[in-house]
Amino acid sequence: MAKAIRLSVIGAGSAQFSLGIVRDLCLTEGLAGSSVVLMDIDEDRLDMVYRLASRYAQELGKDIWFEKTLDRETALKGADFVVNTALAGGHQREEGERALQIKLGYYRGIHYSENMFHQFDLMLSVARDVERICPDAYLLQSSNPVYDGCTIMTRETGVKVIGLCHGPFGGIREMARVLGLNEAEITWEAPGVNHCVWLTTFRYRGENAFPLLESWIEKESERYWADNWQPDTFETQMSPASVFMYRHFGLMPLGDTSRGLWPEVWWLHRDLETKKRFWGPRGGFDSDEGWQNYLDRLSEGIARMRAAADDPKARVTDIFPPRRSSEQIVPIMDAVANDRQGYFVVNVPNRGALPGIADDVVVEVPALIDGRGVRPLTMPPLPQKVMLGAIMPRILGMERRIAGYKSGDPQYILMSLLHDHRTRSLEHAQEVMDALMAFPPNARQAEHFGFRARSEAAE
């Protein structure tokens, strides 16, 4: 028997992501009759997604009901599940700040800057509203920074937060394709913290599959890198960067780890030539060309959706064929609502799941989820080299960012800049910090860290 739920999607203007949730929901019989409240501050994008979502369910003959609102409190009333996919300021603010950082001497931008202040503000605001308006709801966090954001939300509120990332699944998919394996017959575990997870279990048809990986590296990798880089994709998992880190740390990094582990392995990211060496002819996903390719694809996807929304004769299911995605969001809701135990990979407070990490640090580990909630599985300790070279430095960086946000002390920003190898001197770090705080979209951040008061005092 189906169990109808009420789902609130915050940042629903993220069109492709929201329609992916709608598609999975329509294809999940156990959640028939559910209602979805779409919320965004961009009225035009919100209206487009609302029209597409409503038509999608109608085309499939599914009784999923949709509402739209610009008001977050309205969206959260009565919610059983909340999905937060919002990016504060969007890519426009992010790219404007990145351009400033590059001008100041930081190739591809400053690691500390990754929308931490803006996203912390937004995430905590959403979590506190959930705690006040729908305290029994699960908050599924999908927008970055999942690791830092889920840690601060679970420390500062009592909300049931589950952070989700599809990166590891993409990594396994790429490994299966390159090694010629059937993905459905692979079993794996990759514990760690988000964007820093390590393949500790890799089995194919019940047998240890690491020898298959080793054989590919020794006999086929060089030829693959020379001949098989796809012109319209940016491969990460089977890149020279991942293989280098496999040799360096002793475990294979999974998913976004090799590209996201920065500044811990900054030497892989130092300039475009280095990126080309480790991620192929165009420098990988995070190069100028790779990232622009991603932004262009987003724009093209939105344009296609807008055209479909404006054309009443267009079939939305032709754009988004009714096939389940690999995202975990809807399966988790089905597992909780219908008490169907499932195996998932989630970001939740550690509480003993991964040895050597504090209980209140969010880790990415396998978990069983059903009507009783989330039960992380206990993992073996990660090797010392991985802990000291990757996990602990990443935890310290997160703790600095959270401490800076909570205290409003600009010395934490300075500290992060001084940890960046591209910072030439203390004076350079101070110059960069002042420039970032003077960037108009960062006005609230500047006020939070006391820069506006300092400027007014100087005048």
| Summary count for the chain: helices (H), strands (E) | 21, 15
CA-CA-CA-CA dihedral for 28, 298, 107, 248, to nearest 10: 30
- Look up tokens 């929201």; give the residue: 18
Give helix 288-310 / helix 90-103 axis angle, nearest 10°: 160
SS3 state of residue 331? helix
Instruction: Name the token pair of 282.
Output: 């165009």
- Look up tokens 């030829």; give the residue: 223
Q: Are strands 192-193 and 373-376 parallel, antiparallel or unpaired?
A: unpaired
| Of the candidates 32, 10, 26, the residue with the CA atom closest to the CA atom of residue 81 | 10
**Which residues in 413-435 are b (16+ Cβ under 10 Å) and which e?**
bbbbbebbebbeeeeebebbbee
The residues carrying an active-site annotation are 166, 256
- Amino acid in position 309: A
Long-range contacts of 285-290, Cβ-Cβ distance < 8 Å, separation of 24 or more: 285/234, 285/236, 285/259, 286/108, 286/259, 287/108, 288/108, 290/234
In angstroms, the CA 27 to CA 62 distance is 8
SS3 state of residue 365? strand
Query: What residues are paired with 187 via a beta bridge?
Result: 203
**Phi, psi dihedrals of residue 326, rounded to the nearest 5°:** -95, 5
SS3 state of residue 6? strand
Instruction: Name the token pair of 50.
Output: 């609302």
In angstroms, the CA 439 to CA 97 distance is 8
DSSP one-letter code for 341: -
In angstroms, the CA 359 to CA 439 distance is 37
